[in-house]
Amino acid sequence: MDFNLETPLANSHDFHFDTIPSDLFLIESDHMPSNNYLNTLKEMDFDGSFRREAISSVLRVSCNFDPSLSYLAVNYLDRLLSSQGIPQPKPWLFRLLAVACVSLAAKMKEAEFYISDTQGDGGFVFDTQTIQKMEVLILGALNWRMRSITPFSFISYFISLFKPKDPPLRQALKARASEIIFKAQNDINLLEFKPSLIAASALLYASHELFPMQFLCFRKAISNCSHVNKENLLQCYNAMQEIAMDGYRSQFDMVTSSDTPVKVLDQHFSSSESEKTNGTIETISTNSSNKIWAEKDIKRRKISAF
């Protein structure tokens, strides 16, 4: 059975998204980089170039695979670097780390990955033995914890707290939150936050973006979760705003038709009790200049959303 980022502990059909094991919250820190990793990156790699180049190498090696495989490989990479230290930035090392992390992620995902396909790209050729030695080093550094607990492991659980019953509504929220999470992995400022907080923050941002009139209801539902620290959630949410805003324009381009999940969602909750975020509702025009002003207004509302 291949590894699914959404169900890291699932080995049978007994797993239910809406009843996520509390153990998942207890052990998620074991699948994060060490506590001093962020500080080390800022001190030794002040402009983030080393990590960016390492991630770029992973993406080049895994470009033909599902994004979830790349996400898993980068998780391995961060955890390895945090436990073994940041080596001297050498192009061949970037490539070797990338090939080994992607190879391990592909094995977990039961994806067909041929090392021969990566040979010669960038001028580097590694023999199978060298790659296997790096894989063993990674496995040891990660204590063989390869079923990584990531933000995707918590998405369905947090969505269930809001109880959207219509599949299109759940899917719209999940898809936008997933997009934000994929982008957020590149930002070193989010490395200090637990996967569950990143998932909750991405969902909150997505809910405020897609159906702002229901944002406070969703925020209350997540904040009342006993596993969520409200102060840390606020910090994570604030750190994520700039990342998420980069994709806001493309989201508006997707919702110009009359049958969008956004409109279905607003209709679905129109009769439910909700709180207004700022007493006003912006009307978004498809005119590009109006979009820019709307984005700025919405961004200001999001900054004070908590």
Tell me the average pLDDT of the chain.
78
pLDDT digits (tens, 9 = 90+) for 135-156: 999 999 999 999 999 999 999 8
Mean pLDDT of 2-24: 67
pLDDT at 277: 42
Q: Distances in Å between the alpha carbon of 200 and those of 252, 260, 296?
A: 22, 23, 23
pLDDT digits (tens, 9 = 90+) for 224-245: 998 999 999 999 999 998 788 7
Query: Which tokens in the block code for residue 6?
Result: 């959404």
pLDDT digits (tens, 9 = 90+) for 183-213: 999 898 899 999 999 999 999 999 999 988 8
| Greater model confidence, 87 or 53 | 53
Q: Indicate left, alpha or beta for 257 from its phi (over 0: left) and psi (-120 to 50: alpha).
A: beta
d(CA 137, CA 175): 35
pLDDT reading at 11 higher than 80: no
Residue with structure tokens 């961060």?
A: 78
